[in-house]
């Protein structure tokens, strides 16, 4: 049991090291998370996964799930300048704090619940 736990923790740590943030992208102004990597390539839906596997049938598939915090940041309604901006919000407490402060009052009014919850979660870091 201890061995299994040790192996699992190594796998998890390798995974975390490889992807500080779950593979994702900004498309059409929204954050989208990859569902898996196929031979190192990111696939964002089943079609992409199938296409990659068609070309490289033996490629290793690693399924991916975003963290709760990543989902919270992605779905908060905050407008990201680019992908780096999103990643910085996930990784850097201060950057996210500043980003929340910069939300326009009119936007904050509409998304108050989500942004307040995100602020609370960020403060726990």
Q: List interacting residues with other proteins (CB under 8 A).
A: 23-29, 32, 42, 47, 79, 81-84
Least gap, CB of 123 to other proteins (angstroms): 27
Cβ nearer to other proteins, comparing 25 with 110:
25
State which residue, 32 or 107, has the beta carbon closest to other proteins: 32
Between 2 and 47, CB nearer to other proteins: 47
The DSSP line for 3-30 is: HHHHHHHHHHHHHHHH-SS-SEEEETTE
**Measured between alpha carbons, how far is residue 20 from residues 49, 76, 114 in Å?**
22, 20, 23
Least separation in angstroms between CB 87 and other proteins: 9
Q: How far is the CB of 111 from other proteins (least distance, A)?
A: 18
Residue 113 CB, shortest distance to other proteins, in Å, is 25
Please state the φ and ψ torsions of residue 43, each to the nearest 5 degrees: -120, 130
Residue-level length of the chain? 125
When the beta carbons of 81 and 116 are compared against other proteins, the nearer one is 81
- What are the φ/ψ torsions at residue 124 (nearest 5 degrees)? -75, -15
Q: CA 69: distance to chain centroid?
A: 8
């Amino acid at each position: 049991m201890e061995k299994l736990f040790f192996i699992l923790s190594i796998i998890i740590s390798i995974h975390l090291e490889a992807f500080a943030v779950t593979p994702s992208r900004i498309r059409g102004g929204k954050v989208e998370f990859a569902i898996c990597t196929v031979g190192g390539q990111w696939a964002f839906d089943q079609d992409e996964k199938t296409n990659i596997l068609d070309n490289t049938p033996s490629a290793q598939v690693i399924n991916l799930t975003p963290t709760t915090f990543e989902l919270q940041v992605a779905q908060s309604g905050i407008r990201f300048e680019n992908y780096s901006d999103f990643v910085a919000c996930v990784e850097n407490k201060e950057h996210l704090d500043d980003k929340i402060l910069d939300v326009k009052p009119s936007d904050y009014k509409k998304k108050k619940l989500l942004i307040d919850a995100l602020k609370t979660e960020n403060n726990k870091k």
